[in-house]
Structure 1
Amino acid sequence: MTTADRPHVVSRAAALLRAVGALGVDGGTTTELAGLVCLARPTVHRLLTSLAEEGLLDRDRRSGRWLVGPELYLLGVSASGRYDITSKARDIVRHLAAETGESAFLSARRGDETVCLLREDGSFPLRSHVLYEGVRFPLGVASAGLAILAHLPVAELDAYLHRMDLSGLWGEDHGEVLLRERVAETRVAGFATNPGLVVEGSWGMAAAVFDADGSPSWALSLTGVETRFRPDRRPVLGSALLTQAHELSRRLT
């Protein structure tokens, strides 16, 4: 391997680790993961095998599916003291679920994506299953990512939209023009609304949570079926999200 090749190998390995993590406890097959990271299957298999040899991944002997490995767990424990806010947010997420009856979530920004960290289901029996712990979405896709994107500085927002083409994978509703319209609406309202753009009939709303430097680093969100997000109810849900997002931001500063 040449020196020039090393950054590509690292980025590909990192993409595979993120893809395995996003698939949750069931993991994925070599073919599934190759499709997710857009690499040839033989290349993906070599990388997966190397990551497993280091303990970063594990492979189920019966199913052949790749899973998060024990070394990632240990690394995560080491990093939790610096990055994990779930202990400060868990009661807030539970409160949102109890107050609204909807499923409530905490998501964190990681680069150009959001990652779901916590989920708490409410009392309403019909639920959306778009969000679950570990799932990742690009900023601007799903309500949490839209809430964070809308509160970025203008220069950072523009740079993101210029380098990302979300419409190819997520549809025309995620093209730059329509996404900028939703960003503007979010800035006016203070909270973001996703009117079933990821999965038809599954709505979401979110409010950004800010770190000590005033950056939108997390988001609280609610998801549910469309009938639970009527026009007359959305201001109530938005107010609940903003109240709890403000409280969590206060705890983190």
Structure 2
Amino acid sequence: MQGTQLIGRVAAVLRRVGSSGAEGVTTAEVAAATGLPRSTAQRVLAALAEEGFVDRHGRWYLGPELFLLGSVAAERYDVTSTARDILRSLSAKTGESAFFSARRGDETVCLAGEEGSFPLRSHVLHEGIRLPLGVASAGLAILAYLPIDDVEDYVRSRGEELASAYGDQHAANPLTRRITATRRRGYAVNPGLIVPGSWGIGAVVFDRTGAPAWALSLTGVESRFNGDRTAQLGTLLLEAAHTLTQRIARRG
């Protein structure tokens, strides 16, 4: 590997390690996710470890050098601190787990979470996890508010891949129906499409230009989300997303 190909593969390795959160990841899992031979993945990880970008304690984790670089970048890009008290408020009011996710290309990455007080929880989301747009409620909320042409291109080009990875309910036609329903309601609903019985509701947060850049979401078990409570949670989430959008605009 040379040049831009090498940079792309290293970036893919780091993203896979980062998406594992506190659980860490094995060399085999990195190789499977990036398409690298296991021996190559091992060499890349070892080289990154020498530079402090990853650590190994049985499994691979992000390293201290990324923390230092991230701290500098956060001064320019991070809005997580702006969202923290909103996450705490959503979690306290609903008893459900609240999350803040950002769009990164055709994916969302979960930046922060606040656990709810209800003893039964959904464990689909955690800080660092990456999911394609349209799969979880946060990504569906963001996707629904992209320009129409971009949405149609994404669904057309990614529908088959999403269906293969996440099930037929993520194919082009059902995904399009969920996008339409999200626009109509204003918030996205994922009725257990990733893990049966694990529901999510998401609302988009806009940047200063009006582009859908982030999302707030609530997750929990099906019995806590179906029926009239879905609309109640959706309304609360929309209010929180609007408040955060205004804060980000003022911060800019």
| TM-score category, normalised to shorter length | over 0.9
* Structure 2 unaligned residues grouped into runs of 5+: none
Map of 1:48 onto structure 2: 45
Larger mean CA deviation between 199-208 and 227-236 belongs to 227-236
118, 121, 125: which one aligns with 1:124? 118
Provide the TM-score with structure 1 as the length reference: 0.94
Structure 1 residue 76, shift from structure 2 partner: 0.3
147, 151, 156: which one aligns with 1:153? 147
Give the AA of the match of 2:197.
G
Task: Note the alpha carbon deviations across 1:97-117, whole angstroms, 9 max, x for none.
Answer: 111111111111111111111
The alignment status of 1:188 with 2:184, answered yes or no, reads yes
Map of 1:29 onto structure 2: 26
Count of matched residue positions in the alignment of Structure 1 and Structure 2: 247
CA distance in structure 2 between the partners assigned to 1:82 and 1:177 by the alignment: 39
Superposed CA RMSD: 1.1
127, 138, 141: which one aligns with 2:135? 141
Map of 2:36 onto structure 1: 39
Map of 2:232 onto structure 1: 236
Structure 1 residue 159, shift from structure 2 partner: 2.3
Give the AA of the match of 2:124.
V
The alignment status of 1:59 with 2:53, answered yes or no, reads no
CA distance in structure 2 between the partners assigned to 1:8 and 1:140 by the alignment: 28
Structure 1 residue 74, shift from structure 2 partner: 1.0
Structure 1 residue 162, shift from structure 2 partner: 3.0
Larger mean CA deviation between 27-36 and 237-246 belongs to 27-36
CA distance in structure 2 between the partners assigned to 1:171 and 1:6 by the alignment: 36
Map of 1:109 onto structure 2: 103
Give the AA of the match of 1:55.
G
Structure 1 residue 35, shift from structure 2 partner: 1.4
Percent identity between the two aligned chains: 57
Give the AA of the match of 1:191.
Y
Larger mean CA deviation between 188-197 and 230-239 belongs to 230-239
The alignment status of 1:86 with 2:83, answered yes or no, reads no
Task: Note the alpha carbon deviations across 1:7-54, whole angstroms, 9 max, x for none.
Answer: 221111101100000111232111121112222101211211222222
Give the AA of the match of 2:7.
V
Structure 2 residue matching 1:126: 3-state secondary structure: coil
Give the AA of the match of 1:19.
R
Structure 2 residue matching 1:127: 3-state secondary structure: coil
Map of 1:68 onto structure 2: 62
Map of 1:222 onto structure 2: 218
Give the AA of the match of 1:181.
R
Moved over 6 A (4+): none
Provide the TM-score with structure 2 as the length reference: 0.95
